[in-house]
């Protein structure tokens, strides 16, 4: 069977094609799956989508009309998929429920360290042979407070690194993580987390209850010199409120690997285009903001695991089996995602 895969990165392509070799043919496309590109999938029973795909009801209807019966998403989050529409169309939808948590946790720390020590600004200066230290002073992290919002596998990995730095550990989650407790984490309310964290990092999924979790009120509660890191989902942060906070001269810095309106921008070369998103354009003007293009997951180990899980989802679909990664199985929504 030939499968079409959207949003395939250059470094991902050989891994994906090697994994499917001897099983199925794979047509790798670098374009994102959305309402404009969905007609390309006409005639393909199985479609694989990248993390920035738009799989709303209208896109799913186009895919179904072209004969698509299975969506194999190469990502964990599924806030971009209308699962009820997929079920109504009799489709199957699989995702990758887990991969290396260290990939995201280590990248989040990379953002935090780069902001705290002004590494990007320093690099830009020295490339122009400007070796002054003006404005580049940072702070020791040892003894300071880190707030981990979400202490699942990624939050746990982030906490282990924070413990190594000798930081005071505060956390919030619906359930306490025993490993984080062993490391000395104290679980507190969100309000206390916002108020006391010198470094706040987000590791919760994007669902209705967490959309704009970091809103104007949360930002106002944070320390004026706090650092905010988001390597989870863009919709967790109210970006308009964040811009207003930065314009007021608050926060030491912000590291964002995700943006709530990243679709159509991330993974594409827009260097010659006029950027129509005023909020994104304004965000990029702050010298203490570091934006990367949803790459926290992008390590060899994580991509290998993502591809392996995607292959397993496809094989299980073809064999009429289900597994823990399946969000919709031939039109049936599991109770956990209804």
Strand-pairing partners, residue 336, are none
**Residue keyed to tokens 């799913």:** 60
Q: What is the four-CA torsion angle of 56, 59, 62, 68, rounded to 10 degrees?
A: -80
Say which residues have a Cβ less than 8 Å from residue 17's Cβ, sequence separation at least 6.
26, 28
Report the C-alpha gap between 288 and 252 in whole angstroms: 7
| Cα 46 from Cα 20, distance rounded (Å) | 13
The residues annotated as belonging to the active site are 233, 262, 294
Name the nearest CA neighbour of 45 among 63, 33, 20. Answer: 63
Query: Judging by DSSP bridges, how do beta strands 227-230 and 326-328 pair with one another?
Result: unpaired
> Residues 62, 232, 54, CA angle at the centre, nearest 5°?
10
Query: Is 193 exposed, middle or buried, given 0-12, 13-18 or 19+ CB atoms closer than 10 A?
Result: buried
| CB-side neighbour CA atoms (13 Å) of 59 | 20
Of 136, 134, 176, give the one whose Cα is nearest residue 159. Answer: 176
The CA distances from residue 92 to 4, 22, 105, in Å, are: 15, 23, 31
- Rounded Cα distance between 167 and 170, Å, is 9
Q: Which of 213, 220, 287 has its CA nearest to residue 250?
A: 220
Could you tell me the two tokens for 298? 């992008």
Please give the distance of CA 39 from its chain centroid, rounded to a whole number.
26
DSSP for residue 33: P
Which residue has tokens 């949803």? 294
Distance of CA 35 to CAs 31, 172, 264, Å?
A: 12, 37, 11
């Amino acid at each position: 069977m030939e499968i079409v895969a959207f949003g395939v990165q250059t470094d991902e392509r050989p891994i994906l094609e090697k994994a499917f070799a001897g099983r199925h043919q794979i047509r790798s496309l670098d374009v994102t799956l959305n309402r404009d590109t969905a007609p390309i999938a006409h005639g393909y029973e199985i479609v694989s989508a990248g993390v920035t795909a738009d799989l709303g009801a209208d896109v799913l209807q186009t895919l179904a009309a072209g004969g698509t019966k299975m969506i194999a998403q190469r990502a964990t989050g599924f806030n971009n998929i209308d699962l009820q529409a997929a079920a109504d169309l009799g489709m199957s939808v699989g995702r990758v429920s887990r991969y290396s948590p260290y990939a995201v946790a280590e990248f989040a720390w990379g953002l935090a360290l780069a902001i705290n020590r002004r590494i990007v600004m320093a690099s830009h200066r020295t490339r122009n042979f400007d070796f002054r230290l003006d404005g580049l002073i940072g702070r020791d992290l040892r003894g300071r407070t880190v707030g981990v919002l979400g202490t699942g596998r990624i939050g746990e990995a982030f906490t282990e690194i924070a413990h190594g730095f000798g930081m005071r550990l505060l956390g919030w989650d619906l359930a306490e993580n025993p490993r984080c407790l062993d490391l000395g984490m104290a679980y507190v309310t969100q309000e206390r987390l916002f108020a006391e964290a010198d470094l706040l990092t987000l590791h919760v999924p994007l669902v209705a209850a967490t959309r704009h979790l970091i809103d104007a009120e949360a930002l106002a509660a944070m320390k004026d010199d706090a650092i905010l890191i988001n390597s989870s989902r863009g919709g967790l942060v109210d970006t308009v409120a964040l811009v207003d906070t930065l314009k007021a001269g608050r926060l030491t810095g912000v590291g964002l690997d995700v943006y709530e309106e990243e679709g159509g921008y991330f993974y594409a070369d827009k260097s010659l285009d006029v950027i129509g998103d005023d909020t994104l354009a304004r965000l990029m003007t702050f010298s203490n903001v570091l934006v990367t293009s949803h790459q926290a997951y992008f390590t060899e180990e994580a991509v290998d695991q993502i591809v392996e899980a995607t292959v397993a989802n496809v094989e299980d679909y073809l064999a009429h089996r289900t597994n823990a990664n399946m969000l919709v199985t031939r039109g049936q929504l599991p109770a956990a995602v209804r």
